[in-house]
Structure 1
Amino acid sequence: MAYQQERYIAELAVQRASILTQKVFFEKAKGTVSKDDKSPVTIGDFGAQALIIQAIRKNFPNDEIVAEEEASSLREDKALSAEIWRLVKDIKLEDAESDKILGGPIASEESMLDIIDEGKSAGGPKGRIWALDPIDGTKGFLRGGQYAVCLGLIVDGDVKVGAIGTPNLPVDDAAPIDASTGAQQTSTSANGVLFSAVQGEGATSRPLSNGTLAESKSISMRPVPDIAQAVFCEGVEAAHSAQGDNAAVAERLGITAPSVRLDSQAKYCSIARGAGDIYLRLPVKKDYQEKIWDHAAGDIIVREAGGQVTDIYGNRLDFSKGRTLAANKGVVAAPKALQDQVIDAVKVVLKL
């Protein structure tokens, strides 16, 4: 089976980075009153990026990486760099063999900065390119809600592997979810899920752990015989998705259940395991281009769970155009059997 090693490394790397993000939250973000204080997110972003790129470099040294952060600001802000290094240097998986596979501890602060800077690939249609979002859903992270550590492997423009760590999603697939899920988290709560998929192999979920990978199970979207019974997932932030248009699409489809609002690619994960059915990210600004790291892993996890992921015109997302989805507008994800109905409603509401 192709890409099993890539999936394994991606899952372990995301799991290790999730340990860091939780540590940053409990040490730095919990009790953050002001949303202007971005330092916890900055620390988590840079630290998680360093840990994941190190793992990719150790195992796939010739692959390219498209990541959100670069280290020039850290080289100027010595105090922030030192603080990130203090947290990163001690992060390890409790299973020594698993940690060794990822490269073990990063050698030094300077090495950490160099590793962070290795995510500058321009992307494109050829070769093996990892798309990394170390903390997707920054406001969710700060409030103790939903965020995700996301890693996808794109080969010749096509997503082949995806892994997403969601430290605040409930382990129980059937647990009801809403925007406050995980908000009262403790480090011992029954939350934390690691999702993954390989093209043609299906999608899985397993509890996040601090050591070896926990046992996995296959996941799939739930059957929705009547579209009026479907549940929408959408973003919490109005700036990210046109919530009024989303509501109009729901009304057109006869959907009356309130939409579930979650930050981050946790939305892709939720519909992939049947804790929701339809994810809409309708364009807010005409010229906005979605970033590939915001969608690569979620795209393959939903498609391997029996769903379809397209833009508002019904075209598959095109990951071959560089660092953005330049050829697409918006995102619509739904069970395959419902996708055409959802797209038709979107086209009417947006007057396409």
Structure 2
Amino acid sequence: MSYSKELEIAQLAVQRAAILTKRVFHEKAKGTVSKDDKSPVTIGDFGAQALIIAALKANFPDDEIVAEEEAEGLRGDATLRQTIWDLVRETKLSDAAAESALGGAIKSDDEMLTMIDHGNSQGGRRGRIWAIDPIDGTKGFLRGGQYAVCLGLLVDGEVTVGVLGCPNLPVDDSVSLDGSMASGQTDEEGSKGVLFSAVLGQGATSRPLTTGALAPEAKSISMNPISDTSAACFCESVEAGHSSHGDSAQIAALLGITKPSVRMDSQAKYASIARGAGDIYLRLPVSASYQEKIWDHAAGDLIVREAGGQVTDITGSRLDFGAGRTLKENKGVVAAPAAGHAKVLAAVQEVLGKKAAQI
């Protein structure tokens, strides 16, 4: 299958949801530093999820959906529900044909709640299942840094279509990663906002995010070959609770990397290394019991692999998206260009092996 319709709908759905998240940030998020029940992230999460699911259900009514949010809390909070509903009904693509392709508009706040709750699939290895993270990178979103609207299609447990909307990444694929991208990235209109896409076996692309039809200038993207790992740039999570910064520093030293790591939120890290703005993404375990969610990795995993990379866990196993709502069969993430992945993985295993031996 070409998955051309799935790709088009996924791209347009992510693009429309990104419009909502940007509006939430500019109207409601400035000065907010936490995620409570009425925070901008909560409003944006629910609104973006409703819009994406509505498009999927209009076009692929029999597909299952795994998504982060559920609407139960909104049913008892009329004020919050109304705030989200106002955003959802007012958010449309400016191009009529593109908006029409996504299907009919959500007609009421009750229908909006129903759409949100369609994300309750338990996942699995059979059939077509979409994985959604409506705002990946909570704190990046709040600080005006990096976040992503994420959508991936699993077919019998294999990621087949992946789309990432990254509103605060520079449009230019040649702009290298640096620490300044972690915050204050929302002010230059027209120079930021990228839609990354991939279909299994068909490569990966980037194009500017728009407010209407898809931008026509999709560009093929590929990872840097990094023949010399000492010259590599690696990125990791901002939050120490998401990835072990100390272990990453030891791994970098073992690889001869002298550049400081670039810390940024969300699957924007996958997108950045896929287009060669960085080289390596490490997400190292901080807890033996923590299980990564499939919506936090599905789209990025495919985009990196289709751009010439390899993505595994710290044991060298491929990420298993068919095990349910979480990556319970995996620990950590090691993403790097295919030719250099084995060397990076060996360094990861050496550092983490020494750590285990000391406990």
**Which region of structure 1 is more displaced relative to structure 2, 195-204 or 171-180?**
171-180
Question: 2:333 is aligned with what amino acid?
Answer: V
Q: TM-score, normalised by structure 1?
A: 0.97
Residues 294 and 238 (structure 1), Cα distance of their counterparts in 2 relative to 1, 3 Å cut: same
Aligned to 1:196: 197
Deviation at 1:2, TM superposition (A): 1.5
Name the SS for the 1:186 alignment partner: coil
Deviation at 1:188, TM superposition (A): 1.6
Question: 2:164 is aligned with what amino acid?
Answer: I
Describe the superposition over 1:192-212 as per-residue Cα deviations: whole angstroms up to 9, x where unpaired: 000000000000000000010
Q: Distance in 2 between matches of 1:44 and 1:35?
A: 14
Contact persistence 1:92–1:104 (CA under 8 A): no
Contact persistence 1:50–1:115 (CA under 8 A): yes
1:194-343 matched pairs, under 5 angstroms: 194-214=195-215, 215-343=217-345
Q: Distance in 2 between matches of 1:322 and 1:263?
A: 24
Contact persistence 2:237–2:283 (CA under 8 A): yes
Deviation at 1:79, TM superposition (A): 0.8
Question: 2:127 is aligned with what amino acid?
Answer: G
Describe the superposition over 1:51-89 as per-residue Cα deviations: whole angstroms up to 9, x where unpaired: 000000010000000000000001111111111011111
Aligned to 1:163: 163
Deviation at 1:184, TM superposition (A): 4.4
Question: 1:82 is aligned with what amino acid?
Answer: Q
Q: TM-score, normalised by structure 2?
A: 0.96
Number of residue equivalences? 351
Q: Distance in 2 between matches of 1:179 and 1:67?
A: 30
1:34-49 matched pairs, under 5 angstroms: 34-35=33-34, 39-49=39-49
Contact persistence 1:178–1:262 (CA under 8 A): no
Q: Distance in 2 between matches of 1:237 and 1:60?
A: 36
Deviation at 1:178, TM superposition (A): 3.1
Residues 30 and 187 (structure 1), Cα distance of their counterparts in 2 relative to 1, 3 Å cut: farther
Q: Distance in 2 between matches of 1:185 and 1:178?
A: 16
Aligned to 1:154: 154
Deviation at 1:173, TM superposition (A): 1.3
Q: Distance in 2 between matches of 1:234 and 1:27?
A: 29
Contact persistence 1:146–1:179 (CA under 8 A): no
Name the SS for the 1:121 alignment partner: coil
Sequence identity (%): 67
Residues 184 and 233 (structure 1), Cα distance of their counterparts in 2 relative to 1, 3 Å cut: closer
Contact persistence 1:164–1:297 (CA under 8 A): yes
Name the SS for the 2:180 alignment partner: coil
Q: Which ranges in structure 1 are unaligned for 5 or more consecutive residues?
A: none
Q: Distance in 2 between matches of 1:140 and 1:173?
A: 20
Aligned to 2:74: 74
CA RMSD in angstroms comes to 1.2
Q: Distance in 1 between matches of 2:244 and 2:71?
A: 33
Question: 1:241 is aligned with what amino acid?
Answer: S
Q: Distance in 1 between matches of 2:30 and 2:104?
A: 28
Q: Distance in 2 between matches of 1:41 and 1:143?
A: 11
Q: Distance in 2 between matches of 1:71 and 1:180?
A: 36
Q: Which ranges in structure 2 are unaligned for 5 or more consecutive residues?
A: none
Q: Distance in 1 between matches of 2:178 and 2:123?
A: 34
Q: Distance in 1 between matches of 2:35 and 2:352?
A: 33
Contact persistence 2:176–2:278 (CA under 8 A): no
Aligned to 1:53: 53
Describe the superposition over 1:207-261 as per-residue Cα deviations: whole angstroms up to 9, x where unpaired: 0000100020100001212111111110101110001001111111111111111
Contact persistence 2:160–2:199 (CA under 8 A): yes
Q: Distance in 1 between matches of 2:95 and 2:335?
A: 36
Q: Distance in 2 between matches of 1:260 and 1:31?
A: 24
1:109-148 matched pairs, under 5 angstroms: 109-148=109-148
Question: 2:201 is aligned with what amino acid?
Answer: G
Q: Distance in 2 between matches of 1:18 and 1:297?
A: 16
Name the SS for the 2:193 alignment partner: strand
Aligned to 2:99: 99
Contact persistence 1:13–1:51 (CA under 8 A): yes
Deviation at 1:179, TM superposition (A): 4.2
Contact persistence 2:18–2:149 (CA under 8 A): yes
Question: 2:246 is aligned with what amino acid?
Answer: G
Name the SS for the 1:249 alignment partner: helix
1:9-28 matched pairs, under 5 angstroms: 9-28=9-28
Deviation at 1:189, TM superposition (A): 4.3
Question: 1:337 is aligned with what amino acid?
Answer: A
Name the SS for the 1:350 alignment partner: helix
Q: Distance in 2 between matches of 1:288 and 1:178?
A: 29
Aligned to 1:185: 186
Contact persistence 1:145–1:179 (CA under 8 A): no
Contact persistence 1:170–1:190 (CA under 8 A): yes
